Amino acid sequence: MNIQAEPTAPRGGQPETVTATDRLQAVAAGRDVPSEVHPEVLEATPVLEIDRFNLWYGGKQALHGITMPIPNNKVTALIGPSGCGKSTLLRSVNRLNDLVQSVRITGDMRLNGDSIYDPRMDVIELRKRMGMVFQKPNPFPMSIYENVVYALRIDGENNRAALDEVCELSLRGAALWDEVKDRLHDSAIGLSGGQQQRLCIARAIAAEPEVLLLDEPCSALDPIATGKVEDLIQELRGRYSVLIVTHNMQQASRTSDYTAFMYLGRLIEYGTTSGIFTKPILRETEAYVTGRFG
């Protein structure tokens, strides 16, 4: 991996002349800027390896040479100002961007060693190995029960007992079981926003995904529902590999093990959450996480 070859600036001590936004200005000017990756990240076993990944929407490049390993069974947060390509990166992982006609990519990603962008890769099968939760809760127009077991249903699973078990496990896993166990066969549309989002998480973990992708799962929720979803992410920690996009610094610092800071389609700095929030290598990162910019 070429990350290791990147020159790493000494921690803390930056030359006086470099201001907090130097690198970011360089990025904005279109120059290549190397990613700062903390060595702790490279020690963890990765579930997903993103390797020199570039993506274009038509003529416009949205991701520039992203190289980052996502550690197994950890929560990794993606932060950065809006429009910097966080969602794009997430949607590239399960190849949802294939649905956008103008998208073109180079580079690759590997899920537990399997190349995701291999032409022989069956996209449908690939997506079954991941779960995704979107910014706005999107429960399907069917019962709560059917929502949860959707992934199994489309796989042709019709064994009632198996479905029941998965349904209960997933809903318990999403901390929703107690609230809905008496109305599993009611429409999912009747749930509150926070419940709907947890239902979407239950749906995403029902098929035992290798990676769970969460795209700003709390941004459409009120503070109480947000708290519940955050608690849930805490619980998922250690059991699932989670890649979460968030706008909220507190959320990132509370819920994640690793944090990656992106800017204008580039990975700027990537390290453990405590590293990024307490002693970041770059002043730019410090400025962003403390809210002085962004």
Partner 1 sequence: MNSDRQRPRRMRSSYSSLTAHGEPWVWLTGGALALAIMMITGLLAFIAIRGASTFWPVPLELVELADGRRALGEVSEKEEAEAATAAVTGRSARRLVRTANFEVSGKHYEWFDDAAIAEVSRPEWATALERLEGGRFHGFPVRLLHGDEVIAVGPEETWKAFEREHPAVRRRWREVMRIDRHDRGRLQRDLRAARLAVVQAGLDAGTAAANSASVSAAQAAAAATEQEVIARVNGRSAELDAQTAALRRQNEGWGLEVETADGIKKILPLEGIVRAWQPNRLSTAGKLGVYAGRWQEFLTDDPREANSAGGVFPAIWGTVSMTLIMALLVAPFGVLAALYLREYASRGPVTTAVRIAINNLAGVPSIVYGAFGLGFFCYALGGSIDELFFRASLVADKQPTFGTGGLLWASLTLALLTLPVVIVATEEALSAVPNSMREGSYACGAGKWQTIRRIVLPRALPGIMTGLILAMARGAGEVAPLMLVGVKKLALDLPIDGTFPFVHPEREFMHLAYLIYDVGFQSPNSQAAKPMVFTITFLLVAIIALLNVAAIWLRSRLKRRYVSQQF
Ligand X SMILES: Nc1ncnc2c1ncn2[C@@H]1O[C@H](COP(=O)(O)OP(=O)(O)O)[C@@H](O)[C@H]1O
85 binds ligand X (CB under 6 A): yes
Q: From ligand X, partner 1, Mg ion, none, which one binds at residue 153 (CB under 5 to 8 Å depending on kind)?
A: partner 1
Question: Rounded to the nearest whole angstrom, what is the least distance from the CB of residue 221 to ligand X in the complex?
Answer: 17
Question: Rounded to the nearest whole angstrom, what is the least distance from the CB of residue 228 to partner 1 in the complex?
Answer: 15
Hey, is 258 helix, strand or coil?
A: strand
| Nearer to ligand X among residue 67 and residue 88 (C-beta) | 88
What DSSP designation does 187 have? Answer: B
87 binds Mg ion (CB under 5 A): yes
Q: From partner 1, Mg ion, ligand X, none, which one binds at residue 62 (CB under 5 to 8 Å depending on kind)?
A: ligand X
147 binds ligand X (CB under 6 A): no
What DSSP designation does 129 have? Answer: T
When binding is defined by CB under 8 A, the residue of 56, 57, 140, 293 that contacts partner 1 is 140
226 binds partner 1 (CB under 8 A): no
Q: Which residue's Cβ has the minimum distance to ligand X?
A: 87
Question: Rounded to the nearest whole angstrom, what is the least distance from the CB of residue 128 to ligand X in the complex?
Answer: 24
b/e map of 9-33 (b: 16 or more CB within 10 Å)? eeeeebeeeeebbebbeebeeeeeb
When binding is defined by CB under 6 A, the residue of 83, 190, 193, 238 that contacts ligand X is 83
- Sign of the four-CA dihedral 30, 10, 47, 84: negative
Side-chain-facing half-sphere of 264: CA atoms under 13 Å: 12
R_g of the chain, CA atoms, integer Å: 20
Integer distance in angstroms from the first to the last C-alpha of the chain? 30
Q: Which residues make up the interface to ligand X (CB under 6 A)?
A: 57, 62, 82-88, 100
